[in-house]
Structure formats: structure tokens, C-alpha cells
Structure 1
Amino acid sequence: MKYCWLICIIFLPFFSIAQSNYKPGYIIKTTGDTLKGFINQKEWSRSPITVAFKSDEKETSLEYGPQQIAGFAVNGVKYISYTGRYSIDKNQPPELHGELDTSSIEGSIFLKEISTGRFVTLYSQSDNTKERFFIKESQTKPVELKFHQYYNDNNSIISKSLYRTKLGVLVFKYASASNKSQLLKKLESIEFNETKLNSFIQNINQLDKNEVKRRVSTTLFAGLGINRGSTFFDGYYKDRFAPSNSISPRISAGFDLYNNPFVKQLILRGEIGFSYLKADMRKSTYPYYTFNQYTASIIPQIIYNFYNTEKLRVYLGGGAGFNFSKYTNNKYSEGRNNLQVYDNYFKLEPVWMSFPLQTGAFIRDKYEISVVYILPTAYTKYSNFSISTETLGLNVRYSFGK
């Protein structure tokens, strides 16, 4: 546990840093002029209400809302300002009304561009009420795609998929003759979500698959490391063995899945690791207990970059390790003059769990250095005592991709 406190103390000062993530971008003034600079791009799980912009990295930023600018773009993501009516009914269970609700309000909001092409652009917007989608034809104002759901008297969900009617008009207007009948058939069951609507709009725009830009939201990595493991008996056992300390190598590989591939603040990591441990616990000279442990681990983790810049990202993370071990040299030896050796004296579990905590840094999105602390973890099932290992490790990883 002392290592855990050490890691926290070392990186505690970083928490005092006011976080920002300024990336090259631009704002579009209401006059149509474009002003280049830097925009504070965040992990927007909801649509931004305002955006922080500065024309130079050393300047103080200014906040702009959809009333003050016509739009903005950062890291390839574009937003436009919209002023008009938009729906405010809940349309996803369980927060549905007992009758059809078509209420709307007048306001100004930012719309995020999802897909664009020759004829139609698809936008999305979300807040604490719902997720909305808008479509915009050339030289026209965005129009919301309406979708309502409510409970009837029998507590069954009634759906009003008005968006399909609007999409049908676009199919007749813009779809190619060879694709029109197929799109109309697909329209009968198209779901109200970004993935399905995006694909449908791309078909209307007659986009070739090679024209559709893919955002890289997953990267692969491989790494090497070194572990210092301290193995000990925890609880009551007749022999007071001294802890055994060993240093051994580790290799790993896996993938990082980004919640937002442009900001890269929240990461879901899947990792496979292979490690080795050699334990030799003694009570003076005799008796002594030894074993070698070879472990393959599957480790899902959550990583959060609390210091996040273009060149350096510093993070904290944690997860759970599902470990599969094989043991050799599992021997208990006693008797100085009349040596007795017992094979497999203790039953060591082949499957067990561990809980790693780590902190580290990404350097230019290619290189990663991390320190990992694995809480004391038992791989025995005895009632009065356990054999456990506490681990401190240093890892270096290389990411394939940006």
C-alpha cells in the first residue's frame, strides 16, 4: 500500500492544474468571416453551450455562444449555430409521457456535423432532455427530424416516426434511380440513431465508401516492462517465512478505445499481459518454500488523462486483472540434517483476480511510460492464511497509429 500512496503523492500537484485542451481551429463570424486560432476542445458528452476561443495561444480566451457566431470547427469536427424551434419532449423509455407530446421551444444551439455530401448534411445535438438530429439541404435552414414516443392506456409504447416521412422526401428528390427502391424499403425500419441515420444520408448523397472519412477511435499498442514482486504469507501460519522479493520481465499488448478520438481524455483499454514470478520464502535457512508462477492476464481498464495537451498526456487508471497461472517448482523443504521435500505442498490457484492501479504519461501519442501498483492479491483459498503478492511495475509501450 505504501507504493500506492507514493504514486498519488508524486502526481498530486497535477490535479491543481486548470485543465484545458486548446487545439487549432476557427470560428465563423455572423458576417461570414473566418477567424483562425485555438479552441478549447473538451469531452463533450452533450453539445457545447459555449466555446472558448483565442486567436493566439498566449492570449486570454473569449467565450462564444451560438448567438454570437455562425459556427466553429476544431480538429476536423464542425459545428454550426442554429436559431429556431426544437423539440423538448422525452422520447426514450422509461421517461415517456402518457400522451403524445410535441412541445418545442425557441432557442439558439450548436449543431454538430455528422455527415455531409452533394445534397444533404446531417447534424446532431444533445442535452439533458434528449438527442436530436437535423438535416440541411443546400441554401436552406436546418430542419429537425422528429421522433416521438409515449405510453398508451395499456402502458405500451407508441412511436411516431415522423423523421421517416422527411427522409422519404429526400430519397425521391436526390437518390439515384438504381438505389431509390432499396432506400425506400430500408426506410420502413430505419432506427432513430446516429449510426443508422448517418449511413442513410450517405446513401442519399451517393457517397462512395472511399469518400467517407473514418475517425480513428482505436489504437493498438505493445509494451515491455519490469515487475518487482513481494510474495508473503498473510494471516496465521506456523512458519514465519520472510517475504520473498523478485524482479522479473513483463510483456503486453492491447488496444485503446477513445470516447472522443480528438480529445483522447477518457480511454477504455483492453490489455493482455504475460509475466513471471519466482518466490523463495525462508525461515532463516530451513524450512523454506519455493514456487515459480507463469501468468497470462486479461486486463480491462479505464484511463483518464487529467493533464491533456498535444505533446503530453498524464493519466491515472485502474482496472481488474483476470489471471491464468501455471506453477512449477512448488516445493516445501524442511529439516537441516534430514532434508524432507514436499511437492505441491500448498495448492496455488490457477485462476485468480488482481486489481492494478497505474499512473503514466503519453508522449506525442506514440510513447507511453507508466508505473503500476497491484494491490496485495491472494491466489490460495485457505481459511487461516493466504499466499499473496504485492507488485510494483514500470512499463514502456508503443502505440501503432495516432
Structure 2
Amino acid sequence: MKRHTACILTLTAVLFLSACGEADAESGLFYEASGIRPDTVLLSVDGREVTARRYLYWLACACDYIAGYYDSGDGIQWGDTVDGQTLEEYARGQALESAALYATVENWAEDYACTLTDEDRTAMDREWAARVAQYGGEEAYLDVLSRMGLDRTEAEAISGDYYLYRHLYELYCTEGSQLAPAEHDLETFAQEQGYLTVDHIWISTADADPADPEAAAACRARAEEAFSKLNGSADPLNDFAVLAATYSDETDRDQHPSGYTCKAGDGTLPAACEEAVLALEEGQFSGVVEADDGFYLLLRKPLDLDAVAPDYFDALLQAAADSAEVSAARAYEDLNVQQFYDGLQQARAAQRGSGEGAS
């Protein structure tokens, strides 16, 4: 199971959800599943209240994820352990992490005077219209949203947090602002996390017949030809890009004009390539490196701090969420995940059977 820390992915995962009508105090899927009123405050994150409506939405998302991966047809075995956690503990932890993250976005937005703009609301309206068209009408889309337990107020709040996140990031990128990183902090973060920037020429063996040694040999010969030209160049750093345009089988080079910035060990590079790059100084290039998917020539470039900047912002935001002071109400402590999810599934089935949607 992957730890849910990439906050921009979290934020965009529920982008532009909106629905018409608000749930009554004692109605809706989550109330039916838990018996907890939607407006009940379950948590406080650095003083910001998190209602049952918000927390149970994240808990439902976590349970749905678990059901997709760990229910083999006999139901979820909530006591099973993965990575030292029971599935119930994992679901609670993921829901709490998401709730704390969103609350932190809202707290930061308040602290740094970031608010939704007219342009934000116009963009949300456009996306709403696109979603309605995608699902064949507003009623059909509202039915989908109602099965997610969302009313208009909560769905728009979640959507709005994405825009608040964007404004916070813009402030972070503004030199001299309250959120701008201090001098050398970004560079220190990049070094501690093992970031590196690399360009490569990749000769793919994907189309080579594994049973035909001559096919692989032809690919290697092509890579060696490119290396020979690079090694004989008077300006190899400049000519690397020129040779890549001629020899590389990469299809998205235009999207990475400055090379690829990644963390060592994150799987972006084949293991053999990563080992070769780490042995290079900035400005040095490798010989031909063989990997499972082909042959590579690698150029280690100066670290692209602009490419690291979004990750550092996310790390700062996640660290703030992780260290937030969280207090929990008795209703949160007493919530049984298995009972909640069983009740949620029953409520969803009843809703599908009745053909009811949001109103």
C-alpha cells in the first residue's frame, strides 16, 4: 500500500466535484452508514474543525481503495496486516492524513490571505458543465456524486481547496513572499532527498527479437556509434541534445528540454542507469549502459532546482499537516471502520435500487 503523501495528486483527485442540494442534518449515505450527523465535529486540526461529512468522505475513499485491492470476493478481512498495519488501521490513517492535509491547506490559505477568485469560480463552473455533459446530463452526474456522499457545500469546499493550494504555491514561488523558501533551503532539500538531473540517449530493444542476437547487436552498435560521435565532439554538452534528437527512441524529449529530474531510487531510471549516473560528476557523460529495455548514454547535468521546487512545497505542506495538533471527539474514537463500510455498501445498494439521486 502506498502512503498518501503526494498532496497535489490528492487535491486533484477530487477536483471540481459539485452537486446541487445540501444534506439534511440526519440524512445521506454517511449518516445511514455511521449514525453520525454530518455536521458533527469529529476532529480539530490546528484549531480547524473537521466535520463527519468531510472525514467520512475520506474514510470511504480509503475503504474503497482497500476493497479494490484486498477483497478477493469473500469480503475485506480488516484484521489482516500489510506493512505492519491492519487494514482498519490503514483506512483510519489514510482518512486522517487526508483530512489533516486539507485542513492545513485551508489554515495556510487563511494565514496567508489566499482566497478564491472570480476566475477560480468561473473555472469551476466550466468544469461542472463539462462533467454534466460527460455523464449525459445533470441528473445523471448528480446521481454519481450522491453515491459518493457529497452535497453541494462539501463538494465545492473540496474543489475550492485545490484552487487555494494553487494560490499558496504561487505565493511560495514569489521571491520575497512569506512562503518563499529561504536561501539554500531548496538546494539542501534536493541534496538530502537525493535528487539528480540527467539527460539520456536511449536505444530501445523493445522491437528486437529476443531470439535474434543480431537484433540486439544492431541496437548496441547504434548506441556505440552515438557514443563515438559524442566522445569525439568538441562540445559534448551541446552536441548531446543534437545526437539525442537523431539517435534516441525517446518520444517526449520536447517535454523535457532540460533533462529529467528525479530522486535516486524512485524507479525513474533503470537500476543500471542510476548506478552509472551516480558515478558521474556534473557535466560528465557515460559510455554505453545496457539495461533491460535497451542501451543508454547518460549525461549528468547540473541539478534543476526549478523541477524540485514543487516537491519541496509539497513536502513543507505535508510536514505541516503531519505535525499539526489534532484532537479527536469521542465519536471519532468510537467509529468502527468495518461497520461503517458495511453500512455504506448497504446504503449505496439501497440507493441504486431505489434509483434515487441527489436533489
Superposition TM-score tier, normalisation by shorter sequence: under 0.3
* TM score, norm. by length of structure 1: 0.24
**Bigger Cα Rg:** 1
* TM score, norm. by length of structure 2: 0.26
Instruction: Report which of the two has the higher share of strand.
Output: 1
